[in-house]
């Protein structure tokens, strides 16, 4: 499996299918208004967590992907996806509306993308639906989502093997968010592993604890 991050909550996940093909999945493509370059991609599956311009630039994605933009259970090309209802804020969606958490299962690896989660903690029902997670993609930049401290609490609830932070300030981004350092300090990480692309197989997942992986857009 290969995981690529373009900034904000925009990810691309490539998973092999047989010897000579792969399944391409994209999550939350942004538009050019946020200041970051919009990559030209064609994909098989497109997930949208909520309908804000920095997360749902569907027209930027080429091809005819299977579009998922809300809760439900799906199986596309042997990739299992579940959308779980959540809130963009900590007041039941009254300020910023709804958000969908996605779990993705492929190659015997379970991933979870939290979208623009604003809840200070996950409910018991959400935790049950999410289940055991290998790789967690979590917002850490505060302002519009959970902060570094909130992210730390969610990580403690889920206990994933690997955490990939997202939705924090990076150069050229026009949205004012907190930077990554606050999250790393909160997690007690001084020298994180920084990668352009993250390649992972089930056999290489950490046996104990939680590892932080930083992806460069």
For a pLDDT cut of 70, what percent of the chain falls above it? Answer: 100
Note the pLDDT tens digit of each residue in 185-196.
999 998 889 999
Residue 127's pLDDT is: 97
Residue 84's pLDDT is: 97
Note the pLDDT tens digit of each residue in 12-62.
999 998 778 899 999 999 999 998 999 999 999 999 998 877 778 888 899
Query: Per the structure, how many domains does the chain have?
Result: 1
CATH number of the domain that residue 183 is part of: 3.60.15.10
**Following DSSP, what letter does each residue of the chain receive, concatenated?**
-EEEEEETTEEEEEEEETTTEEEEEEE----GGGSS----EE-SEEE-SS-STTT--GGGEES--EEE-SSEEEEETTEEEEEEEEESSSSTTTTT-EEEEEEEEETTEEEEE--S---SS--HHHHHHH-S-SEEEEE---TTS--HHHHHHHHHHH--SEEEEESS--TT--S----HHHHHHHHT-SS-EEESSEE--GGGS-SSS-EEEEEP-
For a pLDDT cut of 90, what percent of the chain falls above it? Answer: 81
Residue 186's pLDDT is: 95
- Is a pLDDT exceeding 80 seen at residue 93? no
The residue range of the domain holding 113 is: 2-215
């Amino acid at each position: 499996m290969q995981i690529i991050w373009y900034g904000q909550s925009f990810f691309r996940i490539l998973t092999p299918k047989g010897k000579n093909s792969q399944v391409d999945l994209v999550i939350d493509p942004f538009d050019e208004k946020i200041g970051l370059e919009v990559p030209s991609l064609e994909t098989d599956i497109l997930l949208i967590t909520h309908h804000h311009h920095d997360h749902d630039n569907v027209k930027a994605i080429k091809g005819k992907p299977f579009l998922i933009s809300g809760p439900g259970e799906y199986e596309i090309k042997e990739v299992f996806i579940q959308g779980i209802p959540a809130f963009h804020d900590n007041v039941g969606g009254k300020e910023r509306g709804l958000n969908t958490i996605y779990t993705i299962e492929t190659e015997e690896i379970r991933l979870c993308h939290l979208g623009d989660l604003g809840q200070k903690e996950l409910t018991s029902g959400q935790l049950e639906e999410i289940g055991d997670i290998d790789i967690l993609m979590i917002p850490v930049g505060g302002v519009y989502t959970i902060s570094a401290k909130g992210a730390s609490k969610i990580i403690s609830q889920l206990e994933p093997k690997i955490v990939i932070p997202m939705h924090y300030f990076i150069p050229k981004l026009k949205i004012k968010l907190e930077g990554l350092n606050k999250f790393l300090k909160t997690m007690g990480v001084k020298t994180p592993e920084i990668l352009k692309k993250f390649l992972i197989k089930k056999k290489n997942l950490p046996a104990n604890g939680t590892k932080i992986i930083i992806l460069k857009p």
